[in-house]
Amino acid sequence: MNINSYNPFFEAQKQFDRAAEKLDLDQATRELLRNPLHEHHFLIPVKLDDGSVKVFKGYRIQHNDARGPIEGGLRFHPQETVDAVRALSMWMTWKTAVADLPLGGGKGGVICDPHNLSDTEQERLCRGWVRQVYKIIGPNVDIPAPDIMTNAQHMLWMLDEYEVISGIRAPGAFTGKPVGMGGSLGREEATGYGVIIAVREALKELNIRPSDTIASLQGFGRVAQYAIELYNQMGGKVICVSTWDHTDQKSYAYKKEAGIDLIELRSITDKFGGIMKQKAMDLGYEVLDGGAWLQQEVDILIPAAIENQITINNVDSISSRVKILAEGANGPTTPDASEIIENRNIFLIPDFLASAGGVICSYFEQVQSNMNYYWEKDEVLSKLDIKMTSAYIAVSDFAKDNELCMRDAAYVISVDRVANACHDRGWV
Ligand code: GLU
């Protein structure tokens, strides 16, 4: 495959078609589910601090809401494309379905690089995004959440704008808000912890103790940092992480054979997950080309950054020691690379299952916000564990019973649930 021809939406549609075939879905249901129900594309004019105006392109794409209100993140990224947002919106529908949440799926985006915007410019961008979408979002309609390069502060600015426009307090309209301002305890940790709960279950099946394993990760944002935290607590050791270096406009991998020190690395990381290279070198980290994270001799690989990272061009560099690949990112592995991984008997935990912890906790946050009554952190995390574990076991049992790989099993379960909701509503 020519890497330049990669289109995430076509890949997402191909994955869907495969599941539709296995389920023998009728034509109308296929047509309905292989495209988003609604797409909103718009321009956001933002006054910059120097008085000039910059116009940004924004999106909210609502893939399907047959199972309940739309839920899904909102990403700030300079290379964002409409087809990436379409793919991500479809993957969110499967993600909420595999976790058996009463929700649909959607995604939002703004083509921008927040590294180059001041806090006040980011605030105006967030408010501008809401002014374009306030009519089509809401606590029982579509609830945006954080994603790559968006955080709790962004969600609060957006919520505030939504509440100013609508004239009511509606804390359930956004999730991933700051704790104390309608946010749920445990939301920051949820996606990363969820990845490791899935890894823990996979290790049980493979009869391997977590403390006997080592891992390498791509990414050092929210997902990767909290995945490392829980994995370390289980006794696992991470020897390599890779991140995007904004200054050099390329990625680097940071390696310590004895194991990276999470607290130390966090202390030299910016709020977008970028590690300060010189400081890492001073602390004794080996700095390698970004792609090196994939080539490490480890038991577990966790891509936790962005889509289209493990492709036909680099999949063969995965070491023969690797036993588990847990996809913490959305769409990190292309379908052809995924097939090679399955053929090599590497146990692959697919993206929309492995990374479901974030939206599971967003659902908890939405419930708490709508009640205006907040749970203790232990309660949130134990509910997260129950939901993640039961989603994992349902997929794993289905895979074994039907001789499917985990990705196919997760797809068949999710697509079936969404198709049934469309049929039961009388849509198709
Ligand atoms: N952006 C996260 C994801 O892709 C979380 C979505 C949410 O909380 O709704 O899963």
pLDDT at 1: 36
- Which residue carries 């426009």 as its tokens? 165
Please provide the DSSP assignment of 19-83 as one string: HHHHHT--HHHHHHHTS-SEEEEEEEEEE-TTS-EEEEEEEEEEEE-TTSSEEEEEEEETT--HH
pLDDT at 258: 97
Q: Which residue in 14, 95, 107, 323 is the catalytic one? A: 107
Name the nearest CA neighbour of 358 among 201, 153, 144, 182. 144
Domains, the chain, in order of start with CATH, read 35-183 (3.40.50.10860), 188-354 (3.40.50.720)
Rounded Cα distance between 357 and 157, Å, is: 24
Residues in the ligand 1 pocket, defined by CB under 6 Å: 71-73, 95, 145, 147, 175, 330, 355, 358-359, 362
pLDDT at 4: 52
From the number of C-beta atoms within 10 Å of its C-beta (0-12, 13-18, 19+), residue 349 rates as buried
Give the type of residue at 33. L
Going by their DSSP bridges, the two strands 250-255 and 214-218 should be labelled as unpaired
Strands (E), 284-409: 286-289, 300-303, 324-326, 347-349
In sequence order, which residues have a C-beta less than 8 Å from that of residue 32 and are 6 or more positions away? Answer: 64, 422, 427, 428
The ligand 1 atom nearest the CA atom of 73: 1
Tell me the CA–centroid distance for residue 385 and ligand 1, in Å.
17
Report field, pTM of the whole predicted structure over 0.85 = yes
Tell me the CA–centroid distance for residue 361 and ligand 1, in Å.
9
**Low-confidence residues of the chain, pLDDT below 70?**
1-4
HSE-up of 215 (CA within 13 Å, CB side)?
32
Written as six digits, the tokens of 404 are 């499917």
**C-beta of residue 294 within 8 angstroms of C-beta of residue 301:** yes
241 pairs with which residues across the strands? 217, 254
pLDDT > 90 fraction of the chain, expressed in percent and rounded: 97
pLDDT at 42: 98
HSE-up of 296 (CA within 13 Å, CB side)?
34
Q: What does the DSSP 8-state code read for residue 294? A: G
pLDDT at 3: 42
Q: Check if 107 is active-site.
A: yes
Measured CA distances, 125 to 52, 105, 130, 246 (Å): 14, 23, 9, 20
Tell me the CA–centroid distance for residue 362 and ligand 1, in Å.
8
Going by their DSSP bridges, the two strands 214-218 and 237-245 should be labelled as parallel
Rounded Cα distance between 200 and 216, Å, is: 16
